[in-house]
Amino acid sequence: MPLNLQNKKIVISAGASGIGWATAKVCLSKGAIVYLCDIDNKLLNKTKKHPLHNKRLFSYEYDASDEDEVSDFFNQLNKKTKKIDSLINNVGVAGPTGTIDKLSSYDWEKTLKVNVISHFYFSKLAIPMLKKNKGGSIINISSGAGIMGFPLRSPYAASKWAVIGMTKTLAMELGKFKIRVNAVCPGTIKGDRMVRVIRDKAKFLKVSRKKVEKEFISMASMNSWIYEEDIGKMCSFLISKDGERISGQTIPVDGNAIRLD
């Protein structure tokens, strides 16, 4: 594998499992140095078994949706490095499932706090480190739900559209500093998150999980699951020199999702 991320310093929020961890592993395999945080201590312990842990991989326990904790994470980071090449704003929860009359304002606010406001906390602290680096790349993980509507998941869809607005605006603000900002929109990913999403939707609609799963896969014209590593490979491309003139874009990795319902 070409080491086209050799010594690139990459920060990932919520990186101990799922898409974040797959992305960390892809970037490590290409020579990067990865700093990740996650809220889940058990999952973080698993990352500590990686052969590059404490060499090129550094994992920390922090809540990405709490401003003080994000600030503590950056204090730790600053002890290791003053400059970074990339920030991947990956944290995001699925939020509640249901029609709007059944959802609570607590769940709505929580979804927006984790999926949008956390990206503000990270970006605010990462941008000075990207400027010191004289350029770099921010990748915001949005979703197919940031391109289309997503019935029964209104707070999630609203949060993922907000991520696109933030991406386009930051790309305009930061272009002059050679900092590129893009949004990656994963499709239906084979993994724990979709197991939970399918379970909750099947329960809400009172149908079988198998039926809901089949429906989800059929929403992509490639009629296929997407894999966590597919998102990691797109992030690695965007961070590398090959992506050096790509900014302000909304990039789906979804097997051509044609609907989300």
Ligand X SMILES: NC(=O)c1ccc[n+]([C@@H]2O[C@H](COP(=O)([O-])OP(=O)(O)OC[C@H]3O[C@@H](n4cnc5c(N)ncnc54)[C@H](O)[C@@H]3O)[C@@H](O)[C@H]2O)c1
The binding site for ligand X (CB under 6 A) comprises 14, 16-20, 38-40, 43, 63-65, 90-93, 114, 141, 143, 186, 188-189, 191-194
For ligand X, the closer of residues 110 and 131 by Cβ is 110
With beta carbons less than 8 A apart as the criterion, state whether 185 and 144 touch: yes
Structure tokens at 201: 């939707």
Torsion, CA 107, CA 195, CA 139, CA 62, rounded to 10: 60
Whole-angstrom Cα distance, residue 261 to residue 257?
11
For ligand X, the closer of residues 37 and 133 by Cβ is 37
Gyration radius (Cα) of the chain, Å: 18
Q: Which of 35, 62, 121, 156 is catalytic?
A: 156
Torsion, CA 121, CA 90, CA 154, CA 165, rounded to 10: 60
Q: Smallest Cα–Cα separation from 165: which of 192, 183, 185? A: 183
CB 259, min distance to ligand X, A: 15
Active site residue 156: yes
For ligand X, the closer of residues 92 and 243 by Cβ is 92
CB 256, min distance to ligand X, A: 15
For ligand X, the closer of residues 133 and 197 by Cβ is 197
Catalytic residues: 156
